[in-house]
C-alpha cells in the first residue's frame, strides 16, 4: 500500500513498493498522459515533477514518491487555462506524433521554474528527451516563447 | 452498414494494397448508392468523405493514418478546399477497414507509407469534396426552386444570387444526401486554391499538449487484461519449452500462453505485473538454423556480392566495363550501410478482443487494411466478423505499415482468453530486438575519367538485402527488386539526376535471416550516401568544384539542378564560409520530389562534429500545408543524422545485440542544427514530403566532413569511426 499525492489529489494504491511510479500513475491511478518509452531513463517520455523537479518516473520506485507532490501532464494546466509551456507548444505547433511531448513539456516546465530565461546552452544541457519525429527546432522556439510569456 | 462483406483472401489483399495506385480504381469513382447512409450519430453522409451535422459541423473522413506527419490535416484541407466549407467547423474521423471492405473500398487505399498519404489520394479526396459541394448546392436550389447555377457557396453558406436568400450546409445536408451524385465534377485550378497551400494549424495539437490524446497504449476497456511478450531472440527460432508453474502464484498473473511457434506471453491484471512475471519465466528456445550468424558473417556475404558475376541490372547505357578498362584515370570506393531499427517512441502494441463470433482490434497502424488482414488471418474468422479500430500512432516510420506481427500476436493471445480484451505492449527491449530493420547494403562505386577529366563511366554495384524479396516477393520482377535502386532509377519518382555516357547500376541480392523493412526513406538512405558522396569523391579526383562538377552532368535534369542550385545560393556556396565552418552538398529525387541540402559543420579534434546549419530545398510539385512540410523537413534531419552518427543494430549469435536507447542512441536537442527550408513547388506533379529529405542529410554532412578533415568515411554509423556529433 502506498499513499500518493498526484496533481493535488490523494490516492491509496496497493502495489509492490518497487513498482515504478510511471506504471502506478498509468495503471493504478489511470492517468495515461505520462508515457512509457524505454523504461531505463533514457528517453524522458515518462517525465513528471516530484516536488517540482523533473524526474524520469520509469526508474523511480513508487515508494520514493510517497509524501511528495507528484505533478503529471494532466496537472500542469490550471483548470481550462493551459500552462505557458503548453500554450507555447500550441502556438508553435510543436508536436508531430506527440508521444514524447508530455515528457518534453514537463521537462521544460521544470527548467523554466528554476531558469526563467534559459539560454540555448541551458536548453541543451537540461532538455535531453528523445523525439524521433525530430521536433527540436520547434521545441527550442517554443521554449524561448514560453520564457517571454 | 449496407452490404454483405466479401471474404478477403489475405494474399491477394496484401498484393492489392501494396501495389502503388493499383487498388484505387474504386476510390476514384464516388459510388452511388440508394438511400441515405448515416454516421453513427445519425448525421447524413453526403458521400464517403463528407458527413454534415445539423449544426454545420463538417466531418471529413480520412483513410490514411496520422502518425505525426500532418496528413490528417492536409487531407482535410484538400476535401475542404473543394467543399467550400467553413474550416473552423471541420473535424475528422477515420473510417474503419471493416466498413471499407463492406463498401467495396469506398475510401481506397489506407496504406500510409512511401510518402503517399497526400500525393496518391489527392485527386479522389478533392473529388469527394467537390461532389459533396455540388449536391449540397443542388439541394438548396431544389428547395428554393431555382437553378443551381444561380447559387454560389462560400464558408458553408449557400447564396441564391438573384434573391439574396441564404442557407447553410447543415440545413440542406439531409436533402443533399438523397440526391444522385453528379457523374463528373470539375476540380479547381490550383491557382484558385484558398486553403490548399496555406499553413493552417493542425487539427490534432491540443490533446498532445494536455495528455488527453489517447494512444493505443492508453486504451482502457472494461475487464481488460494486459500482456507482455517475448519472441525467440533469434529470428526464425521457436519456443522449445517454458515453465509456467514458476510464475503462476505471482500477483495479478492470470495466464501464461504460447503465441504461435515463437512467442510466450504473460497475461496479468496490469502490464507491470505481466512484464515482471515474464522476466521471471524460464523459457527454453529452439534457436534454429541462424544461431551462428553474426554481423561479420553477413558483411562477408555482402562483400562477395560486390564482385559477383551475376547481378540484377536496373539502369544501363553505353558500355561501362569498356569505359573503365580504357580510362586513363579511375576512382573506386566501397561503402557499407548497417541494419537500423525504426524505434518509434510508442513501442509496438495492439489490443484485441476475441469471441468465436467476433474479433476486434484497436491498433496504431500505418495501414488499417493490412492490420485488418492480419486480424482476420489470426482470428480465423471471415471479414464480416472482424473489425479494426485505428488509433493515432506514437510514430510509425515504416514499422507499422507492412508488418502487423504485433496484431497477429495480440489476436493469438486474445483467442486463448476469449471474451476478454487483452492489451499487448512490447517492452522497448522487445521492440529493439524484433524490428523490421533497415536493410544492410554495401556498394562498390567505380568512376572513369577521360584524358580531359570528364566523367565517362560510372558503375554502382549494390550488394545486400532486398526488402521486397522478404516482404512482397510476388512484386519481384524476374527476381529483381526495383525498390533497391531508389534514387538511382533511369526515370520516374526516384530518377537519378546525372547523365553519364557509360552507366551501370546493378544489384547483387544478398539476403539475410534478419527481417528487413521499410524504414523512413527506405533505400534512398544508403543510395544517396553512395551516389552523392561518390560524386564528391569524383569531383575531388578531377580537381573540380563539387557543385560545378555535378552541374555538368545534370543538363537534362533541370528540376534536380534547381533545388541543388537553390541551396548552394542560399548557403553561399563558392563564397568563403565563416572561420572553421565547412560545407557539403547533396541532392536526390525521391518519392516524386526533388530535394537538396547544403550542410555547414565545424569539427574539433578531428572527430567532434557540430552540424551548425543545414539549408534544404524541396520541390514536391505542390505544397498543401507549408508549416507541416517545414516540420517534416527539419524533423527529417533528426532521423537522418541520428542514423548517420549513432544508429546500428549488430548481429551476434543470430540475434540483435542492441536492446535500448543507451546502445541505440538518437539525437537530442543540443545536437540539432539550425534548419532552413526552401519550399519551391513548381506544380504539375505531386511528390511526397515525409521521407525524401532524410536521404540528403547524411551525404551533405559527410561531404562537409571531408572538406573539413580530408577524411572520407565510408562505413557507418560514424560512432564506429570514433566520430561524434556534438
Residues A9 and A71 in one domain: yes
Between chains, do A89 and B394 touch, taking CB under 8 Å as contact? no
Q: Of the residues A75, A99, A134, which one is the last residue of a structural domain?
A: A75
Q: Tell me the average pLDDT across A91-103.
A: 98
Identity of the residue in B70, B220, B660 whose CB atom sits nearest the CB atom of A42: B660
Asked if A77 has any chain B CB less than 8 Å from its own CB, the reply is: yes
Residues A105 and A43 in one domain: no
pLDDT in tens, B358-367: 999 999 999 9
Please, what is the Cα angle at A122 between A54 and B206, to 5 degrees? 55
Question: B216-287+348-425 and B295-340+437-725 share one CATH topology?
Answer: yes
CATH number for the domain spanning A33: value is 3.10.20.30
Asked if A7 has any chain B CB less than 8 Å from its own CB, the reply is: no
pLDDT band for B33, please (50, 70, 90 cuts): low
Asked if A11 has any chain B CB less than 8 Å from its own CB, the reply is: no
Residues A71 and A102 in one domain: no
Residues A108 and A140 in one domain: yes
Identity of the residue in A38, A82, A127 whose CB atom sits nearest the CB atom of B669: A127
Q: Is B143 exposed, middle or buried (0-12, 13-18, 19+ CB in 10 A)?
A: middle
pLDDT in tens, B300-349: 999 999 999 999 999 999 999 999 999 999 999 999 999 999 999 999 99
Between chains, do B217 and A32 touch, taking CB under 8 Å as contact? yes
Searching chain B, which residue's CA lies closest to the CA of residue A39?
B428
Of residues B368 and B5, more confidence is placed in B368
DSSP class of A60: S
Q: How many CB atoms lie within 10 A of CB A12?
A: 9
Q: Which of the residues B74, B210, B250, B660 would you substitute to probe the A interface, choosing the one with the greatest number of A C-beta atoms within 10 Å?
A: B210
pLDDT of residue B43: 94
- Is residue A92 scored above 70 in pLDDT? yes
Q: Is A14 exposed, middle or buried (0-12, 13-18, 19+ CB in 10 A)?
A: exposed
**Cell numbers representing residue B47 in the block:** 458521400
Q: Which domain covers residue A117, as residue numbers?
A: 84-148
Residues A69 and A124 in one domain: no
Identity of the residue in B210, B217, B220 whose CB atom sits nearest the CB atom of A86: B210
Between chains, do B639 and A134 touch, taking CB under 8 Å as contact? yes
pLDDT of residue B263: 98
Domain boundaries, chain B: 10-201, 216-287+348-425, 295-340+437-725
Give me the CATH code for the B216-287+348-425 domain, please. 3.30.365.10
Residues of A in contact with B635 (CB under 8 A): 96, 133-135
Residues of A in contact with B345 (CB under 8 A): 35, 37, 43, 45, 97, 99-100, 130-132
The residue among B307, B685, B709 whose CA lies nearest residue B510 is B307
pLDDT in tens, B509-531: 999 999 999 999 999 999 999 99
Model ipTM? 0.98
Q: Of the residues A30, A52, A75, which one is the last residue of a structural domain?
A: A75
The residue among B440, B484, B527 whose CA lies nearest residue B314 is B484
- Is residue B35 scored above 90 in pLDDT? no
Between chains, do A140 and B344 touch, taking CB under 8 Å as contact? no
Between chains, do A132 and B427 touch, taking CB under 8 Å as contact? no
CATH of B10-201, one of 3.30.365.10, 3.40.50.2300, 1.10.357.10, 3.40.50.10490: 3.30.365.10
Please, what is the Cα angle at B525 between B489 and A101, to 5 degrees? 135
For chain B, what is the mean pLDDT? Answer: 94
pLDDT of residue B30: 47
pLDDT in tens, B99-131: 999 999 999 999 999 999 999 999 999 999 999
Residues A57 and A115 in one domain: no
Q: Are strands B651-652 and B502-509 parallel, antiparallel or unpaired?
A: unpaired
Between chains, do A23 and B271 touch, taking CB under 8 Å as contact? yes
DSSP class of A26: I
SS3 state of residue B426:
coil
Q: B400 to each of A73, B113, B393, B591, how far by Cα in Å?
A: 27, 9, 9, 19
In chain A, the number of structural domains is 2
Residues A60 and A95 in one domain: no
d(CA A48, CA B719): 32
Q: Are A139 and A93 in contact (CB under 8 A)?
A: no
- Is residue B16 scored above 80 in pLDDT? no
d(CA B98, CA B419): 20
pLDDT of residue A104: 98
SS3 state of residue B505:
strand
CATH number for the domain spanning A134: value is 1.10.150.120
Residues A68 and A123 in one domain: no
pLDDT in tens, B151-203: 999 999 999 999 999 999 999 999 999 999 999 999 999 999 999 999 999 99
Between chains, do B666 and A16 touch, taking CB under 8 Å as contact? no
Q: Tell me the average pLDDT across B380-405.
A: 97
d(CA B641, CA B644): 5
Q: Tell me the average pLDDT across B38-50.
A: 93
The shortest C-alpha distance from B290 to chain A (Å) reads: 28
Q: B129 to each of A66, B25, B272, B519, B682, how far by Cα in Å?
A: 55, 18, 47, 33, 24
CATH of B295-340+437-725, one of 3.30.365.10, 3.40.1350.10, 3.30.565.10, 3.40.50.300: 3.30.365.10
Please, what is the Cα angle at A65 between A60 and A71, to 5 degrees? 95
Residues of B in contact with A2 (CB under 8 A): none
Place of cell 512484464: B275
d(CA B134, CA B141): 10
Query: What is the layout of strands, in order, in the sheet containing A53-56?
Result: A9-13, A2-6, A69-71, A47-50, A53-56
pLDDT in tens, A56-82: 999 999 999 999 999 999 999 999 999
| Phi–psi pair at B556, nearest 5 degrees | -100, 15
Asked if A5 has any chain B CB less than 8 Å from its own CB, the reply is: no
Amino acid at each position: 500500500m502506498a499513499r500518493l499525492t498526484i496533481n493535488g489529489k490523494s490516492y491509496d494504491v496497493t502495489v509492490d513498493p518497487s513498482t515504478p511510479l510511471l506504471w502506478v500513475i498509468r495503471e493504478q491511478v489511470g492517468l495515461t498522459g505520462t508515457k512509457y518509452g524505454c523504461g531505463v531513463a533514457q528517453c524522458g517520455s515518462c517525465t513528471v515533477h516530484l516536488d517540482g523537479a523533473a524526474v524520469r518516473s520509469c526508474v523511480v520506485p513508487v515508494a520514493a514518491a510517497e509524501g511528495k507532490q507528484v505533478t503529471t501532464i494532466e496537472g500542469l494546466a490550471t483548470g481550462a487555462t493551459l500552462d505557458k509551456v503548453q500554450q507555447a507548444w500550441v502556438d508553435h505547433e510543436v508536436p508531430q506524433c506527440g508521444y514524447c511531448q508530455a515528457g518534453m513539456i514537463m521537462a521544460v516546465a521544470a527548467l523554466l521554474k528554476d531558469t526563467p530565461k534559459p539560454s540555448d546552452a541551458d536548453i541543451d544541457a537540461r532538455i535531453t528527451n528523445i523525439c524521433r519525429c525530430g521536433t527540436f527546432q520547434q521545441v527550442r522556439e517554443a521554449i524561448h516563447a514560453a520564457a517571454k510569456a | 452498414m449496407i452490404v454483405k462483406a466479401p471474404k478477403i483472401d489475405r494474399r491477394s489483399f496484401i498484393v492489392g494494397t501494396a501495389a502503388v495506385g493499383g487498388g484505387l480504381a474504386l476510390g476514384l469513382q464516388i459510388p452511388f448508392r440508394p438511400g441515405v447512409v448515416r454516421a453513427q450519430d445519425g448525421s447524413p453522409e453526403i458521400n464517403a468523405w463528407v458527413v454534415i451535422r445539423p449544426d454545420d459541423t463538417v466531418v471529413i473522413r480520412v483513410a490514411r493514418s496520422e502518425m505525426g506527419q500532418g496528413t490528417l490535416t492536409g487531407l482535410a484541407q484538400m476535401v475542404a478546399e473543394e467543399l467550400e466549407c467553413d474550416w473552423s467547423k471541420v473535424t475528422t474521423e477515420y473510417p474503419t477497414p471493416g466498413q471499407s471492405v463492406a463498401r467495396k473500398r469506398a475510401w481506397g487505399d489506407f496504406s500510409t507509407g512511401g510518402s503517399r498519404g497526400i500525393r496518391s489520394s489527392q485527386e479522389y479526396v478533392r473529388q469527394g469534396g467537390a461532389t459533396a459541394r455540388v449536391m449540397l448546392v443542388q439541394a438548396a436550389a431544389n428547395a428554393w426552386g431555382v437553378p443551381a447555377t444561380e447559387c454560389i457557396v462560400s464558408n458553408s453558406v449557400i447564396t441564391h444570387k438573384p434573391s439574396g436568400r441564404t442557407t447553410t450546409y447543415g440545413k440542406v445536408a439531409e436533402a443533399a444526401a438523397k440526391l444522385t451524385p453528379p457523374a463528373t465534377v470539375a476540380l479547381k485550378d490550383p491557382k484558385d486554391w484558398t486553403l490548399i497551400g496555406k499553413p493552417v494549424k493542425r487539427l490534432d495539437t491540443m490533446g498532445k499538449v494536455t495528455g488527453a490524446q489517447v494512444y493505443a497504449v492508453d486504451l482502457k476497456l472494461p475487464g481488460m487484461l494486459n500482456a507482455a511478450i517475448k519472441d525467440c531472440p533469434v529470428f526464425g527460432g521457436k519456443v522449445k519449452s517454458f515453465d509456467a508453474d514458476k510464475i503462476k502464484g505471482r500477483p495479478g498473473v492470470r495466464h501464461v500462453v504460447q503465441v504461435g511457434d515463437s512467442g510466450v506471453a504473460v497475461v496479468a491484471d496490469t502490464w507491470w505485473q505481466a512484464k515482471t512475471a515474464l522476466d521471471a519465466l524460464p523459457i527454453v528456445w529452439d534457436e534454429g538454423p541462424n544461431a551462428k550468424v553474426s554481423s561479420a558473417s553477413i558483411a562477408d556475404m555482402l562483400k562477395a556480392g560486390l564482385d559477383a558475376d551475376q547481378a540484377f541490372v536496373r539502369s544501363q547505357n553505353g558500355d561501362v566495363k569498356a569505359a573503365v578498362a580504357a580510362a586513363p584515370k579511375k576512382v573506386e570506393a566501397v561503402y557499407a550501410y548497417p541494419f537500423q531499427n525504426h524505434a518509434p517512441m510508442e513501442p509496438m502494441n495492439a489490443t484485441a478482443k476475441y469471441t468465436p463470433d467476433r474479433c476486434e482490434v484497436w491498433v496504431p497502424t500505418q495501414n488499417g487494411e493490412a492490420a485488418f488482414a492480419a486480424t482476420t488471418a489470426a482470428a480465423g474468422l471471415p471479414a464480416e466478423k472482424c473489425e479494426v479500430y485505428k488509433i493515432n500512432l506514437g510514430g510509425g516510420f515504416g514499422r507499422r505499415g507492412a508488418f502487423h506481427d504485433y496484431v497477429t500476436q495480440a489476436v493469438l493471445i486474445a483467442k486463448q482468453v476469449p471474451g476478454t480484451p487483452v492489451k499487448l505492449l512490447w517492452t522497448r527491449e522487445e521492440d529493439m530486438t524484433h524490428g523490421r530493420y533497415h536493410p544492410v547494403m554495401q556498394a562498390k562505386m567505380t568512376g572513369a575519367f577521360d584524358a580531359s577529366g570528364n566523367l565517362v563511366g560510372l558503375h554502382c554495384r549494390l550488394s545486400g538485402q532486398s526488402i521486397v524479396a522478404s516482404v512482397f516477393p510476388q512484386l519481384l520482377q524476374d527476381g529483381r527488386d526495383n525498390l533497391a535502386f531508389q534514387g538511382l532509377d533511369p526515370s520516374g519518382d526516384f530518377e537519378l539526376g546525372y547523365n553519364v555516357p557509360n552507366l551501370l547500376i546493378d544489384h547483387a541480392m544478398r539476403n539475410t535471416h534478419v527481417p528487413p523493412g521499410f524504414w523512413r526513406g527506405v533505400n534512398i538512405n544508403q543510395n544517396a550516401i553512395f551516389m552523392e558522396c561518390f560524386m564528391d569523391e569524383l569531383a575531388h579526383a578531377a580537381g573540380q568544384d563539387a557543385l560545378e562538377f555535378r552541374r555538368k552532368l545534370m543538363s537534362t535534369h533541370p528540376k534536380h539542378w534547381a533545388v541543388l542550385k537553390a541551396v548552394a545560393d542560399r548557403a553561399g556556396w563558392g563564397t568563403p564560409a565563416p572561420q572553421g565552418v565547412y560545407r557539403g552538398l547533396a541532392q536526390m529525387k525521391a518519392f516524386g520530389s526533388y530535394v537538396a541540402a547544403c550542410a555547414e559543420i565545424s569539427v574539433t579534434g578531428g572527430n567532434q562534429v557540430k552540424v551548425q546549419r543545414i539549408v534544404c530545398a524541396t520541390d514536391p510539385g505542390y505544397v498543401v500545408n507549408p508549416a507541416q512540410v517545414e516540420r517534416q523537413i527539419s524533423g527529417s534531419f533528426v532521423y537522418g543524422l541520428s542514423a548517420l552518427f549513432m544508429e546500428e543494430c549488430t548481429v551476434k549469435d543470430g540475434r540483435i545485440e542492441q536492446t535500448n536507447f543507451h546502445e541505440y542512441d538518437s539525437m537530442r536537442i543540443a545536437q540539432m542544427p539550425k534548419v532552413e527550408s526552401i519550399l519551391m513547388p513548381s506544380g504539375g506533379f505531386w511528390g511526397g514530403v515525409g521521407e525524401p529529405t532524410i536521404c540528403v542529410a547524411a551525404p551533405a554532412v559527410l561531404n562537409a566532413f571531408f572538406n573539413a578533415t580530408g577524411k572520407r568515411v565510408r562505413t557507418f554509423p560514424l560512432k564506429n569511426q570514433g566520430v561524434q556529433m556534438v
